[in-house]
Amino acid sequence: MNYRLLGHSGLRVSEICLGTMTFGEDWGWGASRDDSQKLYEIFREAGGNFIDTANVYTNGASESLLGEFMHGHRESVVLATKYTNALPGTDPNAAGNHRKSMMQAVEASLRRLKTDYIDLYWMHIWDRVTPVDEVMRAFDDLVRQGKVLYIGVSDAAAWWISRANTIAELRGWTSFVGLQIEYSLLERTPERELLPMAQALGLTVTAWSPLASGLLTGKYRISESGVQSEDGKGRMDNPDLQQFMQDRERTSRVIAVLKEVAAKGELSPAEVALAWLRHRSQPIIPIVGARKIEQLQANLRIVDIQLPEAEVQRLDEASKIELGFPHDFLEKPMVRAFTFGGLADRIVAR
């Protein structure tokens, strides 16, 4: 496995990140303690050092298990966890992006993880109410205290992230080095604003749900009645899939082309879907999770997969989206002619 620098930092992270939302059975599904440890060890043996968790994953069991598994080699792990979310309760300050939520969450995570620092601390979800300067100043305090080394942001609007990093840079505070988003062959809307922003700001992008909640494994198909297994014997009742049900024609087309490319290359649809992410012009680190050892082993094989350019283009074409305004407007010939004084073809962009 190779390694990438995390944003504008010098921190080296593996080109695949291990997601550990499946570690623990507290939510009624997931991997047992022993199976979770095997998954962790397989990832480590493959050269992976980038581990992603969150304070709420399996009610905190994910962090607790990682605390056990890292014993004796904590220094070689790039450990990422998150704050913001809390289980439903009666405390209005238990969740959110604000300072109190952050300080309480980081202390609890440090205890569960059995460590005195977190390598990468993510703001998990934008709450849309906390002032941006409160978030960034609180993050900077944690970095100055040595409890956090780097910070990242997940599931937020591009304009808010841009404002956050600009304020941090102007005030000499710690700024975000990473962006975590949902991104896959079926979910390409981040290409409108989030990915261009990340490229402009030098943020490393990590992609969650790169297999679209399992739709891109090739085991399911879209029908009028919902998501069904290919053998017709099972269904997937996942509310997160409703966004893909709204455009059944596109979803079915993407899955069909994915299966064709996979069969041609003697690969699984999941391997092709993950490999497609690694063929983007902008580097993407997929977050892979698994409940079974064979699933993780298959996911790790993508580091050796090189898709032919023609097949990548087929996947691009099948899954493309409309970028909308202002992107499409700016590409119109008349607009380009006016914008560049008729010399667009002779002006070299950096």
Average pLDDT, the chain: 95
Q: What is the CATH number of the domain that holds 104?
A: 3.20.20.100
* 328 shares a domain with 301: no
Looking at the structure, tell me whether residues 343 and 208 fall in a common domain. no
What's the average model confidence in pLDDT over 50-59?
97
Q: What is the pLDDT of residue 231?
A: 67
If asked whether residues 278 and 337 sit together in one domain, one would say no
Predicted structure pTM score: 0.94
- pLDDT tier at 233 (50, 70, 90 boundaries)? low
pLDDT at 347 over 80: yes
Per-residue pLDDT at 51 = 98
Shared-domain flag, residues 207 and 343: no
Confidence of residue 242 (pLDDT cuts 50, 70, 90): confident
Do 344 and 297 reside in the same domain of the chain? no
Which is catalytic among the residues 40, 57, 183, 220? 57
Pair type for strands 78-83 and 50-52: parallel
- Residue-range definition of the domain harbouring residue 174: 3-214+257-307
In the predicted model, is pLDDT for residue 220 greater than 90?
no
pLDDT above 70: residue 232: no
In this structure, are 61 and 199 located in the same domain? yes
Give me the pLDDT at residue 87, please: 92
Residue 31 has pLDDT above 70, yes or no: yes
Do 116 and 43 lie in a common domain?
Answer: yes
15 token code pair: 């080109």
Average pLDDT over residues 326-347: 94
In a domain, 173, yes or no: yes
> Would you say residue 241 lies in a domain?
no
Expressed in percent and rounded to 5, the helix, strand and coil fractions of the chain are 45, 15, 35
- In the chain, how many domains are there? 2
Residues 177, 132 within the same domain: yes
| Nearby residues of 138 by Cβ (< 8 Å), 6 or more positions away | 98, 99, 102, 103
Q: Is 57 a catalytic residue?
A: yes
Could you tell me if 33 and 91 lie in one domain? yes
Q: What is the CA radius of gyration of the chain?
A: 21
* Residues 264, 339 share a domain: no
Say if residue 298 is in the same domain as residue 332: no
